[in-house]
A = this chain, B = another copy of it.
């Protein structure tokens, strides 16, 4: 049995908890939180400890899954805990990946551990698709579309607008753009041409709807560059119709071998982004523990890990049944 710990217990941590409990070859050591362990109840009844007690678990867990955020948690935590454990994270600030990779690599090598970083679906499975598609069809062009799905970052940005009580933002791929890519036309597409943004907003009492809408639509980086629609709804409607965290998207590669055109596509349609991401992290936690058991160490990405390490099944089963 692979002994797994979870560091951080938000939606993602709960997704990992569910996936680890469902895996026949894994057992949950516990959940580690910065909040008060006494006040944290886990969904499955898993034990809760303070992150301050993590050092005591060195040698008692085969891998720790880090479920914090990429803005402040992971840049600090992953390298720190890679010194003590094999770790997996979902670090997704694309621009800072090389720096994060180097920091985790140094710590993991020093501690003799494996640190699998930037695991999930993007970065993660979508990265794998982009990389493999490019390698098997070198003459071509990549396209990544996200959605239809809830962007937590954009929802948070709307919530910070004065007069907004709650909000949910959906990133929506533009069907015309997807169709153009699928046709093999290899269009040049700006971010604006690829996605629109749909906002569902609950106003505070007495708030100025027109002013809120204007402020959202003009928000730089988040909305100003997109076709954005704002729908004002009641708190009840938000809870009833927008409680889930669905997401998904497509990676397409359109290309040629000489005169012949080819289209490769990978798509995801997820009812729960954090549960699916947690399930992917759990498969990579298995890989990290196994690679470490083989004597490997250092930081790794999805590109460095042979697919067989992800599966509960052994190699003989895989080649007989899935090849």
Binding site for B on A (CB under 8 A): 15, 18-19, 22-23, 94, 97-98, 101, 118, 123, 125, 127-132, 134-139, 257-258, 260-272, 275-276, 278-280, 283, 286, 301-308, 310-313, 315-316, 318-320, 322-323
Say yes or no: A22-B310 contact (C-beta < 8 A), given A258-B275, A272-B257, A278-B257: no
Report which residue of A137, A266, A301, A322 has the largest number of chain B beta carbons within 10 angstroms of its beta carbon.
Answer: A322
Contact B303 A19 (CB under 8 A): no
Contact A97 B319 (CB under 8 A): yes
With both chains docked as a complex, state the minimum distance between the C-beta of A9 and any C-beta of chain B, in angstroms.
17
Q: Which 10 pairs, one residue from A and one from B, show the smallest C-beta to C-beta distance?
A: A135-B310, A260-B272, A260-B271, A257-B275, A303-B308, A263-B269, A135-B311, A135-B283, A127-B323, A306-B306
Say yes or no: A310-B262 contact (C-beta < 8 A), given A97-B320, A319-B97, A320-B98: no
With both chains docked as a complex, state the minimum distance between the C-beta of A61 and any C-beta of chain B, in angstroms.
21
Contact B131 A311 (CB under 8 A): yes
Contact B307 A302 (CB under 8 A): yes
Contacts of A125 in B (CB 8 A): 132, 136
Say yes or no: A323-B303 contact (C-beta < 8 A), given A22-B139, A258-B275: yes
Say yes or no: A268-B272 contact (C-beta < 8 A), given A127-B323, A323-B94: no
